[in-house]
Amino acid sequence: MSEDSGKKLTMVTCSAPVNIAVIKYCEYCIFLKTTTTVACSRSFQEDRIWLNGKEEDITQPRLQSCLREIRRLARKRRSDGEADVDTAGLSHKVHICSVNNFPTAAGLASSAAGYACLVYTLSRVMGVEGELSEVSRQGSGSACRSMYGGFVQWIMGQQGDGKDSLAQQVEPETHWPELRVLVLVVSAERKPVGSTSGMQTSVETSSLLKHRADSVVPARMKEMIEAVHKRDFTAFAELTMKDSNQFHATCLDTYPPIFYLNDVSRRVINLVHRYNHHYRETKVAYTFDAGPNAVIYTLQQNVEEFVQVVKHLFPPETNGGQFLKGVPVAPTTLSEELKQAIGMEPMVKGISYIISTKAGPGPRVVEDPSEHLLGSDGLPKESA
């Protein structure tokens, strides 16, 4: 936390990870992240927020719910007589600036990372401690899973007020160091149907969703947690793909149907199955959240070859810009036997770029003041 004594401005910057579903309600947090700076000052006239350099509507209901709850918890700590509470943020307005190092609202859980980071940063500014899962869920249901790193499950709970619906870490980010993630960005555009509104429609109209929630997910959760504990990639991968397929089946079972996947997404699914069939073992797995972008899981020893396969089928020279981002991957050569086994023609401009990453930690305070997204005037250092 830094403080500008001249303007009495208190500022904190934090980061929080993206979480990608392997089973709905069981997630894997990766090194894609949201970074958020919150500043509060008596000189601020109103609460304001900027996302990726553009000012957004601060009155958005879910955002307001998070702000109100953090302020309520801070007031409660003060009324309880806890001496270490910083009371400045209780009467002062806040400025919030947030950036993602991945596409926003494109089916990569940006709202989960965003609200987890917002709640965590606000809590640091206002001296709120303890379990924050419930608060973050007021912004985005899956945000509670970004409050921890590594493998996380969302315990749905039984209470009507949702207070026992919390995230719980299954294993830390250090548990499975060989596991790698490749995000194949098919489209960075904002998806036409939001995750929350899509799920509401599915709950109202899909009989498959009820069967899935009641009969399928509980058993798969147990199997997935066991696979993670044992670092059993075959079981982990097959469960992940089956669950992704069923999630998108519920989208088709929704009325009217929801189409998150596109032709490129289906081409990636076909590629993964052909690749695994060639080796007669499950070397890679796909999952898709509420969007067309593929998240590929594999082990370290397969990364170089599979990235080269993607480059072969989705030629990067036709896309422009940096095709591979994140953790570096060395180039390799594909055998003619593998190319023939896959048997798919290259597709121009199918994949925009690949993000190479791995398991990441939960929310963290960024200690370096130079990393603040807001300047000493409380305004973004960079704007759209």
Res 50 pLDDT > 90: yes
Does pLDDT of 107 surpass 50? no
Question: Which pLDDT value is given to residue 6?
Answer: 46
The CA distance from 297 to 107, in Å, is: 17
CA 108 to chain centre: 6
Q: Which residue has the tokens 């109202």?
A: 204
**SS percent in the chain: helix, strand, coil, step 5:** 40, 25, 35
Q: What single DSSP character describes residue 359? A: B
- Per residue in 62-75, pLDDT (tens digit) is 999 999 999 999 98
Q: Is the pLDDT of residue 384 over 50?
A: no
CA 121 – CA 55 distance, rounded (Å): 18
Cα–Cα distances (Å) from 211 to 132, 218, 239, 285, in that order, read 30, 11, 17, 24
Beta bridge partners of 93: 41
Determine the average pLDDT of the residues in 256-285. Answer: 97
Mean pLDDT of 313-321: 74
Nearest one of 49, 42, 133, 143 to 99, comparing CA atoms: 49
Answer positive or negative: Cα dihedral of 94, 372, 187, 384: positive
Q: How far apart are CA 115 and CA 136, in angstroms?
A: 6
Confidence grade of residue 307 (pLDDT, cut at 50, 70, 90) = very high
Give the separation between CA 213 and CA 128, rounded to whole angstroms.
34
Smallest Cα–Cα separation from 19: which of 136, 112, 106, 102? 112
pLDDT at 38: 97
Question: What are φ and ψ of residue 75, in 5° steps?
Answer: -65, -40
Residue 59 has pLDDT above 50, yes or no: yes
Three-state SS at 40: strand
Separation between Cα atoms, residue 28 and residue 172, nearest integer Å: 10
130-157 pLDDT, tens digit per residue, is 878 788 888 776 677 678 889 988 876 6
* Contact indicator for 183, 299 with CB cutoff of 8 Å: no
| Nearest-angstrom CA–CA distance, 274 and 81 | 63
Q: How far apart are CA 314 and CA 264, in angstroms?
A: 10
All residues at 6 or more sequence positions from 210 whose CB lies less than 8 Å from its CB, including other chains: none
- Cα dihedral 309/311/313/315 (nearest 10): -170
The residues with which 27 forms a beta bridge, in sequence order, are: 21, 152
Q: Which of 34, 116, 113, 14 is nearest to 70 (CA)?
A: 116
Predicted local confidence at residue 191, as pLDDT: 57
Q: What is the mean pLDDT of residues 278-284?
A: 98
> pLDDT, tens digit, for every residue of 374-383?
999 999 997 5
Q: How far is CA 333 from CA 182, 320, 384, in A?
A: 19, 22, 41
Q: Which of 31-40, 95-104, 260-269, 355-364 has the lowest mean pLDDT?
A: 95-104
pLDDT in tens, 197-241: 777 898 899 999 999 988 999 999 999 999 999 999 999 999 999
* Whole-number pLDDT of residue 5: 46
Q: Identify any residues that bridge with 15 across adjacent strands, giving them in sequence order.
A: 35, 364
pLDDT tens digit string along 341-363?
999 999 988 999 999 999 888 89
* 178, 263, 298, 365 from 132: Cα distances, Å: 30, 39, 32, 15
Hey, what are 225's tokens? 């947690």
Structure tokens at 46: 């109103």
Q: Indicate the average pLDDT of the chain.
A: 87
292, burial (CB in 10 Å: exposed 0-12, middle 13-18, buried 19+): buried
| Separation CA 294–CA 275 (nearest Å) | 15
Parallel, antiparallel or unpaired: strands 166-171 and 284-287: unpaired
Residue 249 or residue 88, greater confidence: 249
